[in-house]
Structure 1
């Protein structure tokens, strides 16, 4: 079924519509060197028109991008750069913080190591002093045992003397 009239005209206009550009070339201020973007576009088109055989091919003329879009793109890229710079700065600051925390932790462990070394030395000194006092402590234990046995003997003597006194009083009463 063939299209006729208005439908055919609509199809023709669709098939003749320009294709969208495959690349978006946005020159910066330095790339332009103060020249118009229209002259750059024209030079690019002239270079593309010449083929190997010297035959010129027709290429669709594209309009230069509007300055508003260029400014918006630059603004977007600048803001994206600022955002990424902020993210990288935050990451660097995090790493610096971790580095400082690691250094402080290392210092704390070194202090704890020094403290434990001092405690170990003091403990060794105390063990040596205890070892040097051990004979005296053994003598004290022997004296304590002797005192205990003397105390028991004194109790026995006291009990015996009380019994003897009771017998003596009993004999006196008679």
Structure 2
């Protein structure tokens, strides 16, 4: 993901390439074991310089310093360019990763909200189910009475059919008797 415009300017200001050694103002203190270099308020510590002893009779110690060749300007520019481009690349990678995490965070928030909605819905369903169970329990005696009345009506209907059949038989006998 390449940065453009303001993002690129922000990336450039954040990631500056290290200063090449040839641009450093090196000040050496012969009595100190460390060399301190400073450029624009930045201090770097150098490892202690190795000292070689000599067989002098006066007991003094001779010090030797490592000769540092200045880097070629082409290499310095190429290194600086490489570090700048690497910084832009890494900044783009980090930005993409941050965007992925923001997306995941938003998805998690939405999922959490959906689960909260589903929880509310299930609580409402549970509450309504309890209300229905209570209403059914309060109606149960009336439903039992309706079942009893239905059974009685069925028994009365059977009795009425039997009486109708019996009365038809009686009528038939009575007509038979009248004809004789």
Corresponding position: 1:125 with 2:135:
yes
Deviation beyond 3 Å, 4+ runs, structure 1 = 44-54, 57-60, 166-169
The one of 124, 149, 154 aligned to 1:144: 154
For the residues of structure 1 that align with 2:27 and 2:91, how far apart are their CA atoms? 30
Question: Which structure carries more helix by proportion?
Answer: 1
For the residues of structure 2 that align with 1:133 and 1:39, how far apart are their CA atoms? 100
The one of 1, 11, 22 aligned to 1:38: 22
Alpha carbons 2:50, 2:65 under 8 Å: kept: yes
Alignment of 1:9-158 (within 5 A): 28=16, 32=19, 38-40=22-24, 43=26, 47=35, 50-52=49-51, 53-64=61-72, 65-158=75-168
Bigger CA drift: 160-169 or 108-117? 160-169
Higher relative contact order (CA 8 A, sep 6+): 2
Alpha carbons 1:50, 1:57 under 8 Å: kept: yes
Question: Which structure carries more strand by proportion?
Answer: 2
Larger radius of gyration: 1
Bigger CA drift: 158-167 or 119-128? 158-167
Q: What is the root-mean-square deviation in Å for CA atoms of aligned residues?
A: 3.2
Unpaired runs of 5+ residues, structure 2, are: 1-14, 30-34, 36-45, 52-60
CA spacing shift, 1:60–1:143, aligned 2, 3 Å = same
- For the residue of structure 1 that corresponds to 2:63, the secondary structure is coil
